[in-house]
Amino acid sequence: MHHITKINRIEEAVQAIGVTEQTLTEEEKNSLNEKGFVVFTGMLDAAELETLRAKYEELMEKEGMNAGKEVHQEEGTRRLSDLVNKGECFDSVYTNQKLLAAVYHVLKREFKLSSLNARDAIPGAGLQALHADWGSREEFEPFHVCNSIWLIDDFTPDNGATRIVPGTHKLAGYPRDYGIDPRERHPQEELIVAPAGSVCVINSHLWHGGTLNRTTKTRRAMHAYFTAREHQQQLDQAAYIRKRTYDRLSPAARYILDV
Ligand SMILES: O=C(O)CCC(=O)C(=O)O
């Protein structure tokens, strides 16, 4: 039973989910402000990881060549899209307290889920150009998008862990405006190396990208991607929402999806 029937503001939605001023530590807020990302460890326990891994493979098997199509397919990777509608196990991902506190901290205004996807770098592939999940932004323009990477497998120095260039979320323009080759290693880049169950929230104006998986095992992750509410979603959640998903969601979750 949900006590509140209708939510009209993002502040009400995140409060209903339990987010407070204390949900993030000062250190976590500073990391988002200055470096443009923060890593939370221990966000998924062993049982949740097992469920998510099994679901991931079940969906890959079921969707085959179509996997990822609702949003994006990418050579050298396996991708899934529209996870909101593909299992109850995903409900707690995009409604997680720490995640929503971090997204609100970055965007500082009304927001909604843009998409909930998954991506793994298959052995021998996965290198992406350094990119921001948004086009060119002026230096003092507000931030528009915030992403989160949910590690379903450990991210190691060799298995295609995401790279980020700290502080670049503050830069105007595109990576190419700074005279770099976005496919090459950047002198200031850092790899997100963390155990499965960790979540890296990135202000996704930050330059980032997948790296080459040099191991023989795949590297799976989910991306819960958010946008300021005035923009279009990467996946039109209202168009895709299934009745059985809608019916089980809280008013706060529906508000976050904008359905
Ligand atoms: O999965 C990753 O390591 C990052 C993926 C990414 O940045 C993207 O697909 O745009």
What are 155-208's pLDDT values in tens digits? 999 999 999 999 999 999 999 899 999 999 999 999 999 999 999 999 999 999
Cα distance between residue 125 and residue 215, in whole Å = 10
State both tokens at 258. 């904008």
> Is the CB–ligand 1 distance for residue 81 below 6 Å?
no
Q: Is the CB of 211 under 6 A from ligand 1?
A: no
To test the pocket of ligand 1, the residue of 148, 190, 223, 225 to mutate (highest count of ligand atoms within 8 Å of its CB) is: 223
Question: H or E element: which one contains 108?
Answer: none
Give the E-state strand segments of the chain in sequence order: 37-40, 77-80, 111-121, 145-151, 163-164, 190-191, 199-203, 208-209, 219-228
For ligand 1, say whether the CB of 209 is within 6 Å of any of its atoms.
Answer: yes
Instruction: Please report which helix (H) or strand (E) contains residue 234, including its range.
Output: none
Averaged pLDDT, 241-245: 98
Q: Residue 145 and residue 106: Cα distance in Å, rounded?
A: 8
Q: How far apart are CA 128 and CA 75, in angstroms?
A: 10
| 230 has a pLDDT exceeding 80 | yes
Q: What is the mean pLDDT of residues 54-75?
A: 97
Q: Does residue 101 sit in helix, strand or coil?
A: helix
d(CA 238, CA 91): 16
Tokens of 45: 């326990």
DSSP 194: B
What pLDDT score was predicted for residue 86?
Answer: 98
Q: Quick one: 168 exposed, middle or buried, by C-beta within 10 A (0-12, 13-18, 19+)?
A: buried
Tokens 């230096």 correspond to what residue?
A: 139
| H or E segment and range at residue 172 | none
Residue in 258, 202, 205 with CA at minimum distance from that of residue 232: 258
Can you give the pLDDT at residue 4? 60
pLDDT band at 126 (very low <50, low <70, confident <90, very high): very high
Are 258 and 239 in contact by the 8 Å Cβ rule? The answer is no
Supply the residue whose CA is at minimum distance from atom 2 of ligand 1: 210
Distance 6 CA to ligand 1 centre (A): 34
Mean per-residue pLDDT over the chain, rounded: 96
Please give the Cα distance from 191 to 28 (Å, whole number). Answer: 18
Measured in angstroms, how far is the CA atom of residue 220 from the centroid of ligand 1? Answer: 11
The Å distance, Cα 16 to ligand 1 centre, comes to 30
Query: What's the order of all strands across the beta sheet hosting 163-164?
Result: 190-191, 163-164, 208-209
Q: Is the CB of 198 under 6 A from ligand 1?
A: no
Please determine, for residue 243, whether its predicted confidence score (pLDDT) is greater than 60. Answer: yes
pLDDT given at position 2: 55
- Read off the pLDDT of each residue in 18-24 and give the average, rounded to a whole number: 97
User: Cβ(68) to ligand 1 under 6 A?
Assistant: no
Pocket residue to mutate for ligand 1, from 115, 128, 190, most atoms within 8 A of Cβ: 128
pLDDT of residue 3: 60
What end-to-end distance do the CA atoms of the chain give, in Å?
19
Q: Are strands 208-209 and 145-151 parallel, antiparallel or unpaired?
A: unpaired
Q: Is the CB of 147 under 6 A from ligand 1?
A: no
pLDDT at 124: 97
Burial label, 193 (beta-carbon count in 10 A; 0-12, 13-18, 19+): middle
Across the strands, what pairs with 208?
Answer: 131, 164
Residue nearest to atom 8 of ligand 1 (CA): 209
CA-closest residue to ligand 1 atom 4: 210
